[in-house]
Structure 1
Amino acid sequence: MKRIILSFAVISILAACTSAPTGPTVAIMPREGKPFEVFQAEDQQCRQFAVNAVKDTSDAALKEGMTSAAVGAALGAAAGLVIGGGSHTNVGTGAGVGLLGGAGLGAMNASGKQNQAQEQYNIAYQQCMYSKGNQVPSYKAQ
C-alpha cells in the first residue's frame, strides 16, 4: 500500500512539472504615439486570447506525462511479476522501475508538447497584438 501511495505521489510531482505557458516569449512594442496604458490593456487582452488558443495543447502535455508514468508503472509491475515467476516480491521493484522509465518518457513527450504550446501561444499573442497596431518583430506595423 505504501508503494502505491508513493507511486501516486511521484506521478503527482511529475505532473506538476508540466504547465501551460505563463506568458509570451516574444517582444512586442507599442506603435509610436500609443499611450502605454492602452498598450498594457491590449497586452492583457492578447494574453487571455493566447491562453484560450492553447488550452487543449497544454492539457495534452499534462495528460501525456501522467499517462506515461502510470502505464510504465503498470507494465513494470507486470514485468516484475513475470520475471519473479509469479512471486509478488518483484512486483514493487518492477513497478518502481516502470514508474521511473514511464515518467522519463512522459516527461520527454510532455516537454515536446509544452514547446508546441508555447509556440502556439506566441503566434496567437503576436496575431492579436499585431491586429491592434503594435510592432511585432519582422512584421511592418500597420
Structure 2
Amino acid sequence: MTRLIRVAVLAAVATGVLSACVSAPTGPTIAIMPREGKPFEVFQQEDQVCREFAANAVKDTSNAALKEGATSAAIGAALGAAAGAVIQGGSSQNIGTGAGVGLLGGAAMGAMNSAGKQNQAQTQYNIAYQQCMYSKGNQVPSYPAPVSGSGYRQ
C-alpha cells in the first residue's frame, strides 16, 4: 500500500510541475511602430494600455491551457490505476505501476493539448494587441497606418 501512496504523491508532484510549464502570454510577439511624429512617451503609454487590453482578451484561453495539463495527467493516472487493477486482479503493485504509466501518458497528452491552447492564446493576444495599437494610430506590419485627421483621435 505504501507504493500506491508514493505513486499518488508522484502524480501530484508531476501535475504541479506540468502546470508550471504552461504560461499565459506575457507580451506581444509582433512588432508595432509609432506613427511618424508621435512622441515615444505617448507610444509607451499606448503600449501599456494595449498590453492590458490584450491580456484581458485572452484570460479565459490562458486559464484553459493551464488546466489542460493537470486534468489530463490526473485522468491518465486514474485510468492507468484502474487498468493495472483489472489486468492483475487488484494487487497494489500493479495498481501503482498502472497509475505511473497512466500518469506519464496523461501528462504527455496534456502537455501537447496545453501547448496547442497556449499557441492559440498567444495568437489571440497578438490580434487584440494589434487592433488596439492600430486604433491608436500606430503602424502595424502589413497594414497602412491610419490616416490622421479622419475618424477618432486620442
Give the alignment's TM-score, normalised by structure 2.
0.90
Q: From 64, 71, 76, give the equivalent of 2:68.
A: 64
Name 1:53's counterpart in structure 2.
57
Shift of 1:138: 0.6
Consecutive unaligned residues in structure 1, runs of 5 or more: none
Could you tell me how far apart the structure 2 residues matched to 1:109 and 1:91 are?
26
Shift of 1:88: 1.7
CA deviations on 1:3-61 (whole Å, 9 max, x unpaired) are 21121011000011111001000000000000101100100100000000000000011
Q: From 132, 138, 142, give the equivalent of 2:142.
A: 138
Name 1:126's counterpart in structure 2.
130
Name 2:150's counterpart in structure 1.
none
- Local SS of the residue matching 1:98: helix
- How well do the aligned residues superpose, as a CA RMSD in angstroms? 0.7
Name 1:105's counterpart in structure 2.
109
- Local SS of the residue matching 2:28: coil
Name 2:99's counterpart in structure 1.
95
Could you tell me how far apart the structure 1 residues matched to 2:8 and 2:102 are?
13
Name 2:152's counterpart in structure 1.
none
Could you tell me how far apart the structure 2 residues matched to 1:114 and 1:90 are?
35
- Local SS of the residue matching 1:91: helix
Shift of 1:75: 0.2
Could you tell me how far apart the structure 1 residues matched to 2:100 and 2:6 are?
12
Consecutive unaligned residues in structure 2, runs of 5 or more: 147-154
The code of the aligned residue for 2:48 comes to Q
Could you tell me how far apart the structure 1 residues matched to 2:68 and 2:101 are?
18
Higher CA-based Rg: 2
The code of the aligned residue for 2:125 comes to Y
The code of the aligned residue for 1:93 comes to T
How many residue pairs get aligned? The number is 142
Shift of 1:86: 1.9
Could you tell me how far apart the structure 2 residues matched to 1:91 and 1:84 are?
8
- Local SS of the residue matching 1:46: helix
- Identical-pair percentage: 76
The code of the aligned residue for 1:63 comes to K
